[in-house]
Amino acid sequence: MSFNRVLVLGLGKVGSLVATLLKESDFEVTGVDATPRKDLPFKTLGMDLRDSAAFTNLLTNFDAVVSCLPFHLNIPLAQAAHAAGLHYFDLTEDVPTTNAILDLSKTAKGLMAPQCGLAPGFIGIVGSHLAREFDDLRSIELKVGALPKHPRGSLGYAFNWSPEGVINEYINDCEVIRMGRRQLIPALEGYEIITINGVQLEAATTSGGLGTMCETFEGRVQELHYKTMRYLGHFERMKFLLEELHLRDDRDLVGKILKNALPAVDEDYVFVHGAVEGWKKGSLARSEFVRAYPQMEVAGQSWRAISWTTAASICAVIEMVRSGALPQQGFLKQEDISLDDFLATKNGSLYLKGEQR
The answer to whether residues 75 and 193 belong to one domain is: no
Judgement on whether residues 92 and 144 belong to the same structural domain of the protein: no
Phi/psi region, residue 165 (left: phi>0; alpha: psi -120 to 50; beta: rest), is alpha
pLDDT, residue 165, reads 84
Q: Of 159-163, 198-202, 300-304, which gets the smallest average pLDDT?
A: 159-163
Q: Are residues 80 and 68 in the same domain?
A: yes
* 132 and 200, same domain (yes or no): yes
pLDDT digits (tens, 9 = 90+) for 207-225: 999 999 999 999 999 999 9
Q: Can you tell me the distance from the alpha carbon of 217 to that of 128, in angstroms, rounded to the nearest whole number? A: 9
User: Quick one: 141 exposed, middle or buried, by C-beta within 10 A (0-12, 13-18, 19+)?
Assistant: buried
Same domain, yes or no: 225 and 322: no
Residues 341, 133, 310: CA angle, nearest 5 degrees: 40
Q: Is the pLDDT of residue 252 over 70?
A: yes
End-to-end CA distance of the chain: 41
Cα–Cα dist 126/110, whole Å: 25
Q: Which residues pair with 280 in a beta bridge?
A: 283
Number of Cβ within 10 Å of residue 287's Cβ equals 16
Separation of alpha carbons 146 and 24, rounded Å: 26
91 plus 182 within the same structural domain:
no
If you write DSSP's letter for every residue of 147-195 in order, what string do you get? EESS--TTT-----S-HHHHHHHHHS-EEEEETTEEEEE-TT-S-EEEE
Measured CA to CA, the distance from residue 179 to residue 79 in angstroms comes to 37
Q: What pLDDT does 161 receive? A: 82
Instruction: Give the closest residue to 47 by CA, choosing from 37, 62, 32, 69.
Output: 32
List Cβ neighbours of 196 (8 Å cut-off, separation of 6 or more).
229, 271, 273, 290, 292
State yes or no: pLDDT of 2 exceeds 90: no
Residues 159 and 54 in one domain: no
178 phi, psi to nearest 5 deg: -130, 135
305-314, pLDDT tens digit by residue? 999 999 999 9
- Any idea what the CATH number is for the domain that residue 225 is in? 3.30.360.10
Residue 131 has pLDDT above 90, yes or no: yes
Domain span at 47: 5-117+308-353
Is the C-alpha dihedral spanning 197, 199, 202, 208 positive or negative? negative
* pLDDT at site 238: 96
Average pLDDT over residues 111-121: 97
**For 241-268, what is the mean pLDDT?**
93
Give pLDDT, residue 354.
Answer: 80
Give the mean pLDDT of 13-22: 96
Average pLDDT over all residues of the chain? 94
Q: Is 40 exposed, middle or buried (0-12, 13-18, 19+ CB in 10 A)?
A: middle
- Residues 135, 193 share a domain: yes
In what helix (H) or strand (E) does residue 48 lie, and over which residues does it extend?
none
Q: Is the domain of 91 the same as that of 145?
A: no
Q: Are 36 and 26 contacting, i.e. CB atoms less than 8 angstroms apart?
A: no
Based on the fold, state whether residues 319 and 291 are members of the same structural domain.
no
Predicted confidence at residue 55, as pLDDT, reads 77
**Residues 210, 263 within the same domain:** yes
> What is the spatial distance between Cα 13 and Cα 116, in angstroms, rounded to a whole number?
16
Q: Is the peptide bond before 120 cis (omega within 30 degrees of 0)?
A: yes
Residue 1: the pLDDT is 52
Stated pTM of the model: 0.95
Give the pLDDT confidence score for residue 56 in this predicted structure: 81
CATH code: domain of residue 326: 3.40.50.720
Helix (H/G/I), strand (E/B), else coil: 208: coil
**pLDDT at site 163:** 83
Q: How confident is the model at residue 357 (pLDDT cuts 50, 70, 90)?
A: low
Domain edge (last residue) among 305, 324, 340 = 305
Residue 203 has pLDDT above 70, yes or no: yes
Task: List Cα–Cα distances, 66 to 78, 115, 134, 288, in angstroms.
Answer: 9, 11, 35, 31
Query: 28 and 109, same structural domain?
Result: yes
Q: How many domains does the chain have?
A: 2
Question: What pLDDT is stored for residue 101 in this prediction?
Answer: 97
Percent of the chain with pLDDT over 70: 99
Q: Which is more confidently placed, 54 or 73?
A: 73
Residue 49's pLDDT is 76
Beta bridge partners of 16: none
Which of residues 2 and 87 earns the better pLDDT score?
87
Residue 29 and residue 18: Cα distance in Å, rounded?
Answer: 10
pLDDT at position 292 over 80: yes
List, in sequence order, the alpha helices (H) in 195-241: 213-217, 234-239
Is the pLDDT reported for residue 172 higher than 70? yes
Instruction: Label residue 195 exposed, middle or buried (CB < 10 Å: 0-12, 13-18, 19+).
Output: exposed
Confidence of residue 133 (pLDDT cuts 50, 70, 90): very high
Q: Is 272 helix (H, G, I), strand (E, B) or coil?
A: strand
Q: What is the pLDDT of residues 272-290, one digit of tens each?
A: 999 999 999 999 999 999 9
